[in-house]
Structure 1
Amino acid sequence: MPSPVLSIVICTLNEHEAIAGVLEELGEYLQGIQHEIIVVDDSTDERTGDAVNAYAAGDPCIRLVRRYNASGLSSAAITGWDLAKGRFLAIMDGDGQHDPALIKGLLEKLTHTDADVAVASRYLEDSRSGLSGIRHTLSRAGIWLTDTTLGVPLADPLSGCFAMTRDWYTEVRQELSGLGFKILIDVVASGQRRPRTAQLPTMLRARAGGVSKLDTRVVIDLMTLLIEKRTRGRFTAKTMMNSMTTLVTLCAQWLSMAVLLKLACPLWASALLSVGFGLAGRLWFKYLATSRSLRPNTLHDVVRQWSAFYLGRWSDVILNAGIVIGLCALRCPWPLAVAAGVLLAETRYHIGNKAGAYA
């Protein structure tokens, strides 16, 4: 086939009900344009991939990339764009909320102007978004936060439907974080300069399949991504996530230690039990910071995950509690002793992980 002018990446997660309709509509609107469609599928089963392959049997422009035990629209989009061959690169959702007609309009914006990135923006001409209730409110809050933090000149920097030139993608590729679900922020905030932008007004349609991806992980990813981009990578998302995990562990251990001592529990027992509660807080935060599709779904899975976690961190209980008991015996205030125990245990854990990675 001739090299395509346009490469469209569609990232899917359990959207078998909608994807065939999206591909059909997109093909109709792109007639006469050399294009390719790359579906990057992170689904928990094979139904979405089967639907894509069934439709692609009659359309050589479509190909499927299947990822396992992976999550995040941003990393999926980068996977697709790295494989793409078009002069222009685009992205849209596979659940039917984005009107496929927008892609042709975005391509025209890029070819008829000097724009680097063309975005289908909600709120450009209308305060409505196509979302309802709390999701609309959260969308507006996210846009305000993004604009305040980065000053991105877009009506909808959280849009999931946009296109860009290959030159711009090449310019920012090495700086992309690939974190979370808001890839547009990553794309427009990773260059040495702000991109030239163009916008088309849009409003989301009713979802034809799949469910909302909004969960606590999406919110955490957005906040850490904004900080990483605002600080030009001095504070990376990974560093901030590790710091938040340690802080949650510390707060849980502080709280439980205070309660146990208040109940006249012996110091040694309070130290041991508080370490267990601290690790429980750590694991709970990890659960909240995991994408919904990768969380354990049954009680058996939860028990297995918690058991494996505690077995993997048993040495931390001894190290952490030993530090607390030893420092308290030296008349160190217990809050400081707990902080020292948590920090030393976390340091040992991360050093052990790095040593295992290099082994």
Structure 2
Amino acid sequence: MSIGSTTLPLVEQNVTFHPPQLAVIVPSYNERENIELLYEKVAIALGDVAWEMIVVDDNSPDGTAEVVNELSRVYANVRCLRRFGRRGLASACVEGMAVTSAPYVAVIDADLQHDEAILPEMLRKALDGADLVVGSRFAEGGSAGDGLSSTRLSGSNLANKLAGMIAGQAVSDPMSGFFLIRREAALKAAPKLASDGFKILIDLIVTSARMGAPLKVAEVPYTFRPRHAGESKMSPLVVIQYLGLWFSKLTNGALPPSFLLFGLVGGTGVVVHLATLAAFTAVGQGFVVSQIAATLIAMAWNFVLNNNLTYADRKLRGTRLITGFLSFCAICALGGIANISVANAIYQWDHQTFIAGLSGAVMSSVFNYAVTRAFTWK
């Protein structure tokens, strides 16, 4: 074989390649202190199973991706999928599943709270015919252990009850972040999954069932452990994102998950608008000046919150922050015109002030959400 003027000898390789039977997907953000230990524990648990670990890292500032790349120089079955400009556990899981050829994929957190020792049993149940095997804290023999505070345990129980309302089948821990699934089944549902969620398991269960391909589910109990290192990703934003996903699935996808957060931000904007209006009029400013100031401040408030919360996975920075704000204001102005037009038309029809006002507000909210998502945070 020759490349340019250099002749390279053909070398017979005696290395036997074993394609992975299982891919362990690890979504990560600032988990550099946990990754190597997690790999070692999973390697011990899986023993002779042909497997690979795919760490999907959201460009962690702590250098998680660099740690994974160093590991990959030592272990051939480790690789890092580093994402730029994208955030979110659900989308990270889907992208990890999409880049492996393994027929089975498992999702496990990087923080060592999930018990990797049950992975072989989860794989056995899948090989015996289960489409999805859930690592459950609440099945008989499982426990939340010391991994959840009393407050978080109460919140988890409530979230599980809400999830049970839309799951369509009995699953003891539908909020689990630890599961194993046939890759074919996961990728079949992937195009219809919410990309901006923190929980993907309940989405997989509900979406698969509504596509006419309900998953055969099995469970393996385990004890949830305390986080090994780093900080928990649980936050009020995660709770709101979950509620958004729940409402979306409850309405059969009519309301996207991010619409709830966009609406909540808009609600706080109304409060800011009224408070600013009152403050300006209190210091002697005329109504027109006060209304203009209140409108601009409320728009800025809504833009900043949406940029940091609703669209955190596509956050605008630098010059795009300025152009984004200008487009947001322009779109909201058009939404205001649509609000007035629709409200006036309905009022002229039946003279019901409340119905007319509500219709206009809903119209402008939907318009602002759809257009800013398409143009401001495209």
Instruction: List per-residue Cα deviations over 1:109-148 (Å, max 9, x = no partner).
Output: 1112x21100001121256342113222221221122113
Residue 174 of structure 1 and its aligned partner are, at CA, apart by 2.2
Alpha-carbon distance, 1:100 to partner = 1.5
What amino acid is aligned across from residue 57 of structure 2 in structure 1?
D
CA 1:352–1:212 in 2, change beyond 3 Å: closer, same or farther? closer
Q: Does 1:119 align with 2:134?
A: yes
Report the AA paired with residue 101 of structure 2: K
Preserved CA contact (<8 Å) 2:23 2:52? yes
Match of 2:83 among 45, 64, 67: 67
Question: What pairs up with 1:77-156 in 2 under 5 angstroms?
Answer: 77-112=93-128, 114-125=129-140, 126=142, 128-129=144-145, 130-156=147-173
C-alpha displacement of 1:207: 1.4
Between the aligned partners of 1:122 and 1:291, the Cα distance in structure 2 is 31
Indicate if the aligned counterparts of 2:241 and 2:258 stay in contact, CA closer than 8 A.
no
Structure 1 contact 16–48 (Cα < 8 Å) conserved: yes
Question: Aligned partners of 1:340, 1:260: CA distance in 2, in Å?
Answer: 26
Equivalent residues in 2 for 1:336-351, closer than 5 Å: 347=367, 351=371
Report the alpha carbon displacement of residue 210 of structure 1 after superposing the two structures with TM.
Answer: 2.2
Sequence identity percentage: 25
1:1-359 equivalent positions in 2, closer than 5 A:
1-45=17-61, 47-112=63-128, 114-125=129-140, 126=142, 128-129=144-145, 130-191=147-208, 192-257=212-277, 265-283=285-303, 285-286=305-306, 289=309, 313=328, 315=330, 347=367, 351=371, 354=374
CA contact (8 A) 1:146 1:226 kept: yes
Q: State the shift of 1:241 in Å.
A: 4.0
Amino acid at match of 2:81: V
Structure 2 CA distance for aligned equivalents of residues 259 and 322 of structure 1:
26
Q: Matched residue of 1:49: which SS?
A: helix
Checking the alignment, whether the CA contact within 8 Å between 2:303 and 2:325 is kept in structure 1 is: no
Report the count of equivalent residues.
349
* Aligned equivalent of 1:330: none
Q: Structure 2 CA distance, aligned partners of 1:322 and 1:267?
A: 20
TM-score by length of 2: 0.77
Contact 1:18 1:94 in 2 (8 A): yes
- Provide closer, same or farther for how the CA distance between residues 44 and 357 of structure 1 changes in structure 2, counting only shifts above 3 A: closer
- Unpaired runs of 5+ residues, structure 1, are 328-332
Q: TM-score, normalised by structure 1?
A: 0.81
Q: What is the identity, as a one-letter code, of the residue corresponding to 1:94?
A: A
Structure 2 CA distance for partners of 1:348 and 1:283, relative to 1, 3 Å? closer
Q: Which moved more, 1:117-126 or 1:73-82?
A: 117-126
Is there any run of 5+ residues in structure 2 with no aligned partner, and where?
A: 1-16, 344-352
Residue type at the aligned position of 1:160: G
Query: What is the one-letter code of the residue matched to 1:207?
Result: R
SS of 2:207's partner is: coil
Cα 1:198–1:353 shift into 2, 3 Å: closer
CA distance in 2, matches of 1:317, 1:115: 49
Residue 142 of structure 1 aligns with an amino acid whose one-letter code is A
- Shift in CA distance, 324/237, structure 1 to aligned 2, threshold 3 Å: closer
Bigger mean CA offset, 47-56 vs 4-13: 47-56
Deviation at 1:104, TM superposition (A): 1.4
Kindly indicate whether the alpha-carbon contact (under 8 Å) linking 1:178 and 1:186 is maintained by their aligned counterparts in 2. no
Deviates more, 1:348-357 or 1:188-197: 348-357
* 8 Å Cα contact 2:121/2:220 also seen in 1: yes
AA at the equivalent of 1:272: I
Preserved CA contact (<8 Å) 1:323 1:341: no
Larger Rg: 2
Given that residues 96 and 205 in structure 1 are in contact (C-alpha distance below 8 angstroms), is that contact kept between their aligned partners in structure 2? Answer: yes
1:116–1:164: 8 Å Cα contact kept in structure 2? yes
Matched residues in 1 for 2:238 and 2:372: separation? 29
Question: Counterpart of 1:115 in structure 2: which amino acid?
Answer: A
Partner-residue secondary structure (3-state), 1:169: helix
